[in-house]
Each structure stands twice: as C-alpha cells, then as structure tokens.
Amino acid sequence: MHHQNLSPIGMEAANHSDRIGFAQLTRRAFDGGDLRPLRDQLAAKISAGLAHAGEGLDLSLVVQLLGDKKLGLDIQAEVLGFHRLFRAPCRVEKPRLRVLALAAAIDMGGNTPIEFLLEESDIELLTLYVIDGLPEQLPDHDVAIVVASDSEECRKALAVIDKAAPRWPRPLLNRPELIANLDRDKLYRLLAGIPGLEIPATVHATRAQMTDLSQGRIVCADIVGELRFPMIVRPRGTHAGVGLAKLDDAAALAAYLAERQEQDFFVARFVDYASRGGLYRKYRLAIVDGQPYACHMAIAERWDIWYLNADMAASEAKRVEEASFMIDFDRGFGARHKSALDEMSRRIGLDYFIVDCAENQNGELLVFEADNTAVVHNMDPVAVFPYKPSQMRKIFAAFTSMLSRHAKASEASAA
C-alpha cells in the first residue's frame, strides 16, 4: 500500500479524518463478525485512490484484528506519515465536550482504548498520534488525556508530550511522568510498604543471569533479595501471558531458557493465592479519579488466569459469584481494601488506570500489575452476563464526569 493512493489531508492539526474506530471494529470482531469483506472494501478504496486517512487507519486495525499485526502496523505507519488527527464516531451532533487523546504509533493494544469509555456519551473524541513532535497549532479541545502506555514503543511519544506538558493550554490528564511508573519493575518500588498490600518485587534479569541461576553459579537472592523458587518468569515487553511461566526449580528454568530466544526477562517470586477450595480468583479494577470500580472477576483452577481462559460464560456458579462481587463491591471488596486502594491510587497519581489483583492467603490485596491500557468494555452478551452493563456504565459515567470536572475547573480559572 502506498500513500499516494490515500488522499492526504495535510499535516495541519485542525483537520481531522473520521474513522469507524476501535470500539466498533473490536465489537464486530468480538461478536464473531467476518471483517474480511470490510478489509477488502477498504483496500479497494485505497488502491482506487478514493480513501481518506481515517479509512486507512481503520484498515490497519481490521488487518490487526484479523491477525496480521505486522501488515497492520505497516499500513498504520504509512497513514501516520501524512495524517495524525482522527475523530471517533460521536453519538450527538453537538458534543458538550471535546477530548483530545494523545496516542503513540503502536499496535492496537498499546494505547488506552478510550473509545469504549466514551462511545455512549455526548463527548467528542479526537485522537492525535504523537510521533516526532506536536503540531504548531493544537486541535481545539476542552481536556487532553495521554493514552500512550509505559511500553518501550511509546517512550518517544511520552517524552514529546512531557516536554510540552508545562505549557499545555488545557487540563492534561494521565501525565507522561506518572505513566512511566507503571512499568513492572518500577511499580513494586512505588507501592512498597503500603499496609494491607502485597506486591512481589518484579525485577529485570538478563539471559546470562538466568543461565547462571539455572546452572547453580548464582542463587535467587543474587538477582533480588526476596526472589526464590517457585518463581514467575516472563520475557520483558510481552503482555497477555506470552512466555509467562511458573518455574519450580533450576531444572525447570534451564528447560524454559532452552525453548526461548529472548535476552531479557522479568522475574518475581510466586505467591500462591489459591483460596481454601483450591480456586484462584483474579480481579480487575478501574481506578477513576481516585475511586475504585469493579471491572471483572475471573475464577479458575489455574494461577495464570485472565478473563478469557477462566471460561466464565460456561459456569453459572462462577457468574453468580462475579455478580455479587460487582453488586456488593463498595460494601465488600472495596471496603475491605479501602485504605490500601486509597494509598495505591494516591502514589500512582494517575486520573485513570486499571489494576489486576487478587487477595493473598492473609486476606491482603495482592497486586499483579497496573496499567492505563487494559480494555474496559461493555461487549459481553447481556443474556449471559446480565449484571455487567450497569456496572460498566457506572465506570463510563465516572470517567465522563471526571473529564467534565477538569474542563469546568479550567473554565473557572480562565474566567
């Protein structure tokens, strides 16, 4: 694909290109829709020279959703080479608020999926991709929010935004210097010593160190004082459980290294958080404006749970438990861990972020990770999860009222 076939709309910030966008396309894929006809239609428009930049970006996303990440990113790079400002569909003709999301040129999971949080609202969302700088003239907006993540690929974008942040003309939420603290090996230091909260030290280990450990030349404590077998290992920079393993001893570590090519890993001690019945429960919370909200609860017989492998749709008993976790959250889980959650959100300092956590066997809050890009959505089938839509709308409402609060405060101070 070559961009001479996409009608360039110039690098002027004021011109946005409309797109179908992340939320609608992801929902189609999630519902099992076939995205290939749309892919072919968009590709045909582009080769005929009739497409605009938003359609090019939609094609990049469709291709990624169909499983070809590399091609999707190539298309995205081509489009962003000449156009960087895009508008998501808005439900109303005259939005009451304009939000500018500052994104990085990364794969589809690398920026906060903010469209899901705003798609039922009367707020207009513009996304500006920050690559090597910002436009002379920023697009008109009431509130800006950084949606790039703490990953390596976003470092440059965060640095550009960070440099401009002190002179930003409107409220700027999720500031870059705070996002950087979410990195796995920084977060545990930030949250260390909070009463009622456990977070294992997650440290970077090189392949050479791991090899030495597997051959008995060094011991776990040489990597970090609290490390021991069994340990959790994952290649640095991976998400969604890629390369994640629990290793019980040096022999298991040697076998793991023999199967992997990576040079850098994160290691942490394993915390057995199984309940008395032998089941593991993992919770996802959204922290909006300092307040925690329940996103989901996954229950499984395995420690390495995420929502999809817990197969919640297949078990009514699990869903009954998830429903009561959500309905009773403020009186239950949220109340039990109130002081730990409050202190955690104070230290992290972001306006919006997601926490994956559990309860350890002493009943403390066990934190696995925090990030600003996990998907919070309302796509689950209502027939199977009737308790979810109202909970998700509660999060969306908290998010939009946070944006309004900042916009109002800024107007008031300007006046």
Q: What is the mean pLDDT of residues 6-13?
A: 40
The two structure tokens encoding residue 196: 């009622």
- Whether 24 has a pLDDT exceeding 80, the answer reads yes
Q: Give the tens place of pLDDT for each residue, 123-179.
A: 999 999 999 899 989 999 999 999 999 888 899 999 999 999 999 999 999 999 999
Calpha distance 79→75 (Å, rounded) = 6
- Whether 242 has a pLDDT exceeding 90, the answer reads no
Calpha distance 26→61 (Å, rounded) = 9
Calpha distance 395→377 (Å, rounded) = 10
Domain residue ranges of the chain, discontinuous segments joined by +: 3-177, 201-269, 280-404
The two structure tokens encoding residue 112: 């906060």
Least confident of 6-15, 199-208, 305-314: 6-15
Q: Give the tens place of pLDDT for each residue, 320-331.
A: 999 999 999 999
- Please report the beta strands in 229-325, taking only residues with DSSP state E, as ranges in sequence order: 231-235, 245-247, 264-269, 280-288, 291-300
- Whether 204 has a pLDDT exceeding 70, the answer reads yes
Note the pTM of the prediction, 2 decimals: 0.91
Q: Give the tens place of pLDDT for each residue, 90-133.
A: 989 999 999 999 999 999 889 999 999 999 999 999 999 999 89
Please tell me the predicted confidence (pLDDT) of residue 185.
83
Architecture of 280-404 per CATH?
2-Layer Sandwich (3.30)
Beta carbons of 52 and 9 less than 8 angstroms apart:
yes
Q: What is the CATH number of domain 201-269?
A: 3.30.1490.20
Please tell me the predicted confidence (pLDDT) of residue 11.
41
Q: Give the tens place of pLDDT for each residue, 56-79.
A: 999 999 999 999 999 999 999 999
The two structure tokens encoding residue 25: 């396309």
Helix (H, G, I), strand (E, B) or coil at 282: strand
Beta carbons of 9 and 139 less than 8 angstroms apart:
no
Average pLDDT value for the chain: 92
Calpha distance 206→161 (Å, rounded) = 31
Q: What is the mean pLDDT of residues 247-275?
A: 94
Please tell me the predicted confidence (pLDDT) of residue 240.
64
Q: List CB contacts of 349: < 8 A, sequence separation 6 or more.
A: 178, 181
- Whether 410 has a pLDDT exceeding 90, the answer reads no
User: In the structure, what pLDDT confidence band is assigned to residue 5 with cuts at 50, 70 and 90?
Assistant: very low
Please tell me the predicted confidence (pLDDT) of residue 13.
45
Q: Give the tens place of pLDDT for each residue, 280-303.
A: 999 999 999 999 999 999 999 999
Beta carbons of 297 and 322 less than 8 angstroms apart:
yes
Start-to-end Cα distance in the chain: 49
